[in-house]
């Protein structure tokens, strides 16, 4: 019996450690490893800046600084909650002058993104996407358009360029919707700026 309990303990404790929240001050040009989400969903809560979201082949979440200039990055805060549903990555206290980050996420991720302002590029991530930026630009390289079912984009002021899904729209309160047969949903909203879908 004790042998069985020891085996269970050895299996559970590393799992609990892997699911523990991460709270880090500081960022560098080297990758900061944050861990692996427990489920298939991931929420990115981000400050203003330029953000590129790419897939990781090992299923890990990691972040690195890609901005220009020699900034003091010690005040940047990264918090990651891998066991939440969805798992959540928060990036706060970013520098608003030429601040850029690259984030790697599991290739198969139901991705939710909330950002105050800036530019977002998402490429190579497979799954549902719910993306909102207050002011700026969202660009999604969708890959195979047939992988998507419902697709929508909206701006209060600016431009929607749906790429493989339809015709561009520009002006005030522009909306676009498309109904495909694929398994993934894609929704992007910007109050002032652009939404761009590319193949």
Per-residue pLDDT tens over the stretch 57-116: 899 999 999 998 677 899 999 999 999 999 999 999 887 778 999 999 999 999 999 999
* Alpha-helical runs (H) found in the chain: 2-18
| Whole-angstrom distance, CA of residue 97 vs CA of residue 8 | 50
Q: Measure Cα distances from 101 to 39, 76, 120, 182, 192 in Å.
A: 24, 11, 10, 30, 22
The predicted structure's pLDDT at residue 18: 53
Q: pLDDT tens digit string along 131-152?
A: 999 999 999 999 999 999 999 9
What 65-71 contacts at long range (C-beta under 8 Å, 24+ apart), as own/partner pairs, is: 65/27, 65/28, 65/29, 65/100, 65/101, 66/29, 66/100, 66/101, 66/102, 67/95, 67/98, 67/99, 67/100, 67/101, 68/98, 68/100, 69/97, 69/98, 71/95, 71/97, 71/98, 71/99
- The model's pTM is 0.88
List pLDDT tens digits, range 103-133: 999 999 999 999 999 999 999 999 999 999 9
- What confidence tier does 2 reach under pLDDT thresholds 50, 70, 90? very low
């Amino acid at each position: 019996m004790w042998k069985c309990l020891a085996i269970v303990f050895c299996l559970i404790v590393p799992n609990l450690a892997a699911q523990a929240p991460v709270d880090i001050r500081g960022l560098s040009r080297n990758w900061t490893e944050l861990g692996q989400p427990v489920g298939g969903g991931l929420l990115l809560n981000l400050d203003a800046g330029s953000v590129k979201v790419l897939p990781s082949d090992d299923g890990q979440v990691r972040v690195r600084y890609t901005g220009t200039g020699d900034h003091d990055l010690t005040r940047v805060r990264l918090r990651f909650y891998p066991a939440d549903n969805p798992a959540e990555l928060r990036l706060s206290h970013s520098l608003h002058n030429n601040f850029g980050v690259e984030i790697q996420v599991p290739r198969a991720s139901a991705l939710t993104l909330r950002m105050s302002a800036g530019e977002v590029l998402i490429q190579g991530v497979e799954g549902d996407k719910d993306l909102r930026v207050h002011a700026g630009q969202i660009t999604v390289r969708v890959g195979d358009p047939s992988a998507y079912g419902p697709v929508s984009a909206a701006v209060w002021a600016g431009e929607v360029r749906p790429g493989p899904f339809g015709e561009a729209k520009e002006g005030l309160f522009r909306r676009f919707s498309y109904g495909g047969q694929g398994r993934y949903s894609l929704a992007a909203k910007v109050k002032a700026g652009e939404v761009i879908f590319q193949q």
